[in-house]
């Protein structure tokens, strides 16, 4: 602890409540916590934890994260790198800690098309890249030009889109465990009114399907299927067919309008959510022989 304090001083927090940093609002405390506002701070945090033999984990916006009720007995590093600017007329440079919707708004105001699909997706820009967030046929990986990342050893480097090997809700960064701190996106000039119209259309569609409650959005990934629109069989369709909409565990329940969304009604624990997800997953496996894959990331012991 003394060595960590010597490295980070007053920026280091103890016993940080992680529930407040996730969209589920569940989970325990982190033994140590650091808000990092630059690539150097992220790298120093990772390096210090390695040097001292302390487990570390990097988080972004917390919108796709389920934290154990027992918390995390190590150092949580939150990427809070901010700022957006036009690098050239069609390229936006953005800090990974920025909210994804803020990036959509910035692109719209600058008459840049290509991000409309991301309207209403919760979370940070860095998390969106890490998980190749997408909707309505679009994915963040298709518009990424380059990113500054930090390795698990604390090494900072710049990588291109091809390096990330984007796939459906996936990227090579999940293999290398590198963390995005800044990114640049290549868009195209468009008509501002048309862009605004499409953003509003996507937001309206999301409002019909997604709850204004405590949730991480879709819990499970859709299943690759070339016969389906956009090449994906919706996990929600299978979940609905096995009758999960009536299910609840403790304060966690399945959203009545979307079978692939679990909501915290206000009193749920992370264990409630995990148990409910396990029941949903088992029902689909029993009925269809399909093992659903989690889209939500898990941190800690369950």
Residue 235 pLDDT > 70: yes
- For residue 2, the model assigns a pLDDT of 62
What mean pLDDT, rounded, does the chain reach?
A: 94
Domains present along the chain, CATH in parentheses? 10-79 (3.30.43.10), 84-193 (3.30.465.10), 211-299 (3.90.78.10)
Cβ of 188: how many Cβ atoms within 10 Å? 10
Structure tokens at 173: 């960064």
Q: How confident is the model at residue 180 (pLDDT cuts 50, 70, 90)?
A: very high
* Per-residue pLDDT tens digits for 103-142: 999 999 999 999 999 999 988 999 999 999 998 889 999 9
- For residue 35, the model assigns a pLDDT of 95
C-alpha torsion sign, points 178, 183, 189, 193: positive
- The angle formed by the CA atoms of residues 176, 299 and 152, to the nearest 5 degrees, is 25
Structure tokens at 148: 């500054």
Distance CA 302, CA 300 (A): 7
Residue 6 pLDDT > 80: no
* Per-residue pLDDT tens digits for 250-301: 999 999 999 999 999 999 999 999 999 999 999 999 999 999 999 999 999 9
Residue 49 pLDDT > 80: yes
Residue 238 pLDDT > 90: yes
3-state SS, the chain, equals CHHHHHHHHHHEEEEEECHHHCCCCCCCEEEEEEEECCHHHHHHHHHHHHHHCCCEEEECCCCCEEECCCCEEEEEEEECCCCEEEEECCEEEEECCCEHHHHHHHHHHCCEECCHHHCCCCCEHHHHHHCCCEECCEEHHHCEEEEEEECCCCCEEEEEHHHHCCECCECCHHHHCCEEEEEEEECEECCHHHHHHHHHHHHHHHHHHCCCCEEEEECECCEECCCCHHHEECHHHHHHHCCHHHCEECCEEECCCCCCEEEECCCCCHHHHHHHHHHHHHHHHHHHCCCCCECCEEECCC
CA distances from 158 to 61, 117, 171, 182 (A): 22, 26, 16, 9
Residue 213 pLDDT > 70: yes
Question: Are residues 157 and 43 in contact, defined by beta-carbon separation less than 8 angstroms?
Answer: no
- For residue 206, the model assigns a pLDDT of 86
* pTM for this prediction: 0.90
Cβ-proximal residues to 134 (8 Å cutoff; 6+ apart), any chain: 117, 118, 140, 141, 168, 169
Average pLDDT for 78-103: 97
Average pLDDT for 84-112: 97
- For residue 286, the model assigns a pLDDT of 98
Residue 7 pLDDT > 80: no
Who has greater pLDDT, 149 or 228?
149
Residue 209 pLDDT > 80: no
Q: How confident is the model at residue 1 (pLDDT cuts 50, 70, 90)?
A: low
- For residue 37, the model assigns a pLDDT of 95
- For residue 126, the model assigns a pLDDT of 96
């Amino acid at each position: 602890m003394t060595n960590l304090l010597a490295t980070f001083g007053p920026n280091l927090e103890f016993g940080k409540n992680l529930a407040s940093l996730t969209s589920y609002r569940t989970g325990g405390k982190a033994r140590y916590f650091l808000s990092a506002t630059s690539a150097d701070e992220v790298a120093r945090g990772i390096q210090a934890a390695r040097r001292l033999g302390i487990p570390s984990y990097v988080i972004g916006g917390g919108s796709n994260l389920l934290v154990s009720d027992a918390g995390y007995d190590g150092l949580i590093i939150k990427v809070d790198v901010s700022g957006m600017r036009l690098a050239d007329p069609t390229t936006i440079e953005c800090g990974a800690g920025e909210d994804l919707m803020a990036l959509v708004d910035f692109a719209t105001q600058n008459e840049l098309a290509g991000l409309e699909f991301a309207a209403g997706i919760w979370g940070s820009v860095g998390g969106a890249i890490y998980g190749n967030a997408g909707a309505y046929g679009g994915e963040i990986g298709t518009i990424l030009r380059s990113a500054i990342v930090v390795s698990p050893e604390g090494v900072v480097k710049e990588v291109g889109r091809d390096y990330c090997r984007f796939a459906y809700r996936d990227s090579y960064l999940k293999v290398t465990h590198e963390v995005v701190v800044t990114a640049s996106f290549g868009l195209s000039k468009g008509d501002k009114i048309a862009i605004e119209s499409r953003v509003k259309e996507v937001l309206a569609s999301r409002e019909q399907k997604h709850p204004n409650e405590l949730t991480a959005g879709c819990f499970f990934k859709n299943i690759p299927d070339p016969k389906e629109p956009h090449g994906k069989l919706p996990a929600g369709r299978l979940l609905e067919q096995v009758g999960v909409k009536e299910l609840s565990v403790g304060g966690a329940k399945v959203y009545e309008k979307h079978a692939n969304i679990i909501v915290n009604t206000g009193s749920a624990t992370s264990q409630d959510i995990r148990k409910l997800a396990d029941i949903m997953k088992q029902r689909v496996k029993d009925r269809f022989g399909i093992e659903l894959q989690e889209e939500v990331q898990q941190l800690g012991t369950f």
